[in-house]
Amino acid sequence: MKQKSWISIVFSFAAQCRLKIILSVLCAIISVIAGLVPYLSVYQIITQFIGGAPIMETVWMWCWIGLGAYALRFVFYGISTTLSHISAYTILENIRLSLAQRLMKAPLGTVLGESVGKLKNVLVDRVETIELPLAHMIPECISNLLLPIAVFIYLVCVDWRMALSMLITVPIAFVAYAMMMKNFNQQYADYMESNNYVNGVIVEYVEGIEVIKAFNQSSTSYEKFAHAVESFKDYTLKWYQSTWKLMNFGSAVLPSTFLGTLPVGLLLYYNGTLTPQDLVICLILSLGIVGPLMNFTTYVNEMKTVEYAVHDVDKLLSVSELPDEKTDVRLTHYDIHLQEVAFSYDQTQENNVLSHISLDIPEGKFTALVGPSGGGKSTIARLIARFWDVSDGSITIGGTDIRKIPLSQLADTVSFVTQDNFLFNCSIKENIRLGNPQASDEEVFAAAKAACCDEFILNLEHGYDTMAGDAGNRLSGGEKQRISIARMILKNSPIVILDEATAFTDQENEEKIQRSIAALTKGKTLLVIAHRLSTIKNADQIIVLKEGEVQASGTHQELLAENSLYRDMWNAHIGAKNWSAGSKEGR
Ligand code: ADP
């Protein structure tokens, strides 16, 4: 498939700021024209003096015109850059918002499949690299291109030979730059790959610092880190060394416009073709384009940076979306039914994690999913919450296929609490209120009490107003779990899924939480995945899952009597419990 051009991608995000961009371009053009006026003033003044009898009034007039135009040039340039900066930041904002929306709509697997380092790199750093060149490219590229063109046209009007002589260095420099740029695309791609690798290693080093310290791996991890940084330095130096001779040659030759204009101008002057004032103005103007020409060459590099960043963004924006319905459906009951569900994370039949599972999770009942680790319990829970779509078969809620239920309605219908409880860096009260943004403080406190977190929250320095820290890092695993359960209680949705939601909670609190969950979820559809079997032994229905298939289902007593896997798991659990607690409970 042909890649879209980066400029068209950038401008697809510029809908709200088109007018500003156009105005910025116009101001840049006015600024360039105003920048030429002082040269005209100098020409007029020289003409006055060369004529032998300068009229001082005219000289002064041209001085003021030149000065005024010089000031105007900066005013319009300022307006142009301000507008282009606003446009660039608007484009950046739109890109980031689109990326965030796209990640929300993509299947969770696609998002989790990407490394945090890479996502952060694209969303923050790569998008940021677009701003500066984008903001400056509009006004500066225009003036840097327009000015030499305008000067060239002016020189053609004076004498076409002067115009051509001004450009004598361009083909020489062009050959040098062309040789330098021969492998630019490949080298830039390698550079970006190297850059991404260093980024990944740095993020891994920082994120894994706890494990590195715990396993005393600081020297080996540091070695990997140092090696990555060092090889990146070697790579960039090597690239620089391979180009610096040609680059310096080009940079030295290109601005030397005098090489052509001085001898040709003098020759034409001695021939009597060129007046002295025309000679002077041609020399001054040919010097005036040196800066813009040099600036223009730096944009080649910057444009490449933008091009790569924009294509990275586009790649992330092209990830597939979960198909979503627009209109809410009327759900009258909330039983869940899995019909012949098959699923694999990589969408291949060979790696099916679930194979043709059919089961009923009735409304108003407590259903538990148990089985050896890796059997597919969490996968079933995630499929019901539609983090992924099933590969085959269907899941219905109240008789409606969940693919026909809008994602936002499904999110309102299902509460899902997992082991990984992410807390945002806002107060604990607000973290709980995420379950129901309309809830009053009293309702938040009541939910926290029911989830057994009221006590520890009140012991914190600022109680409910204590900040949770980044990703809740000020709280223990068990505390975070209880806050997530409070969130779920506050959400009060008709379907509740708890995936090892109390695994980190101590036994005393776990029993309390179980009791309040049982009370609060009366009449709801409750699905619990639990490792500690004692917490689910009162379930109305227990489903035993092994290697992606349903082995058996029934009550605790029925399974103990009929299913050897369940019996073994129960005995192992009781043994472990007795061993850890030294108690006789559960026999
Ligand atoms: P359980 O909850 O019973 O321990 P899971 O549903 O978590 O089992 O996992 C079932 C299988 O799916 C395991 O083999 C696991 O390695 C695999 N798996 C889980 N999550 C992913 C994922 N995001 N990508 C690929 N494979 C996964």
Which residue type is seen at 278? D
Q: Is residue 324 part of a domain?
A: no
**With 70 as the cut, is the pLDDT of residue 586 above it?**
no
345 lines ligand 1 (CB under 6 A): yes
What is the mean pLDDT of the segment spanning 206-214?
80
Task: Collapse the DSSP code of 439 into the 3-class scheme (helix H, G, I; strand E, B; otherwise coil) and give the result.
Answer: coil
- % pLDDT > 90, the chain: 19
The one-letter amino acid code at 578 reads N
User: Is residue 397 a part of any domain in this protein?
Assistant: yes
* Ligand 1 atom, smallest distance to 381 CA: 6
What value does the mean pLDDT take over residues 97-109? 83
Cα 24–chain centre separation: 28
- Which residue's C-alpha comes closest to atom 25 of ligand 1? 345
pTM as predicted = 0.69
CATH number of residue 134's parent domain: 1.20.1560.10
pLDDT at position 587? 35
Which residue's CA lies nearest to atom 15 of ligand 1? 374
In a domain, 423, yes or no: yes
289, 317, 345 - which closes a domain = 317
Q: pLDDT of 362-413, one tens digit each?
A: 998 899 999 888 888 999 999 998 888 898 899 999 989 999 999 889 988 9
Domain stops at, among 283, 317, 351: 317
Q: Which residues pair with 542 in a beta bridge?
A: 368, 554
The residues that bridge with 342 in the sheet, in sequence order, are: 392
Does residue 117 register a pLDDT over 70? no
Q: Is 224 a domain residue?
A: yes
Distance 416 CA to ligand 1 centre (A): 17
Residue 65 has a pLDDT of 95
Look at strands 366-370 and 400-401 and give their pairing: unpaired
Using pLDDT thresholds of 50, 70 and 90, give the confidence band for residue 64: very high
- Same domain? For 356 and 312 the reply is no
Do 348 and 253 have their domain in common? no
How far apart are the C-alpha atoms of 482 and 417, rounded to whole Å? Answer: 10
Same domain, 307 and 341: no
Task: Looking at the structure, tell me whether residues 260 and 340 fall in a common domain.
Answer: no
Predicted confidence band at 326 (pLDDT cuts at 50, 70, 90)? confident
Mutate to test the pocket of ligand 1, among 338, 369, 379, 544 (most ligand atoms within 8 A of CB): 379
Closest CA to 441 of 428, 460, 424, 425: 428
- The proportion of the chain whose per-residue pLDDT surpasses 70, expressed as a percent, equals 94
Residues contacting residue 216 through CB under 8 Å, at least 6 positions apart: none
pLDDT digits (tens, 9 = 90+) for 507-536: 766 776 777 777 777 788 999 998 888 888
Q: Which helix (H) or strand (E) holds 544?
A: strand 541-546
Judge if 308 and 351 occupy the same domain: no
Mean pLDDT of the chain: 84
Secondary-structure breakdown of the chain: helix, strand, coil percentages, each rounded to the nearest 5: 65, 10, 25
Cβ of 548 less than 6 Å from ligand 1: no
What is the three-class DSSP state of 208? coil
Q: Is residue 268 part of a domain?
A: yes
Tell whether ligand 1 has an atom less than 6 A from the beta carbon of residue 265.
no
Query: Is-contact 169 257, C-beta < 8 A?
Result: yes
> The domain containing residue 247 runs over which residues?
6-317
**Helix, strand, or coil (residue 367):** strand
Classified as helix, coil or strand, 473 is coil
Three-state secondary structure of 16-65: HHHHHHHHHHHHHHHHHHHHHHHHHHHHHHHHHHHCCCCCHHHHHHHHHH
Q: Comparing 58-67, 227-236, 574-583, which segment has the lowest mean pLDDT?
A: 574-583
**Has residue 60 got a pLDDT over 60?**
yes
Residue 298 makes CB contacts below 8 A (sequence gap 6+) with none
Residues 286 and 405 in one domain: no
Please state the rounded mean pLDDT for residues 268-296: 84
Tell whether 470 is covered by a domain: yes
Strands in 37-133 per DSSP E? none
- What is the arithmetic mean of pLDDT over 148-161? 88
Low-confidence winner among 198-212, 286-300, 340-354 (lowest mean pLDDT): 286-300
Helix (H, G, I), strand (E, B) or coil at 206: helix
174-178 contacts at long range (C-beta below 8 A, 24 or more positions apart)? 176/246, 176/247, 176/249, 176/250, 176/253, 177/246, 177/250, 177/297
Name, in order, each residue with C-beta under 8 angstroms of 331's C-beta and a sequence gap of 6 or more. Answer: 397, 398, 400, 405, 413, 494
400 and 287 in a common domain = no
Given a cut of 90, whether residue 50 has pLDDT beyond it is no
In a domain, 374, yes or no: yes
Closest CA to 156 of 39, 270, 349, 285: 285
Place 585 in a pLDDT band, splitting at 50, 70 and 90. very low
Do both 147 and 49 map to the same domain? Answer: yes
555/250 Cα distance (integer angstroms): 83
The domain tally of the chain equals: 2
> What is the arithmetic mean of pLDDT over 500-505?
70
pLDDT of 303 reads 80
Is residue 502 domain-resident?
Answer: yes
Residues 402 and 516 in one domain: yes
**Range in 104-108, 167-171, 554-558 the model is least confident about:** 104-108
What confidence tier does 340 reach under pLDDT thresholds 50, 70, 90?
very high
Residue, of 211 and 30, whose pLDDT is higher: 30
Q: What is the mean pLDDT of residues 283-294?
A: 81
Tokens, residue 244:
């610096």
Which residue spans within 323-448 are E strands per DSSP? 336-343, 354-361, 366-370, 392-397, 400-401, 414-417
Same domain, 154 and 33: yes
**Domain end residue (candidates: 262, 290, 317):** 317
Q: Are residues 57 and 107 in the same domain?
A: yes
CATH code of residue 381: 3.40.50.300
Q: Are residues 309 and 345 in the same domain?
A: no
Position 576 scores a pLDDT of 63
Q: How far is the CA of 379 from the centre of ligand 1 (A)?
A: 6
How much is the pLDDT for 325?
A: 82
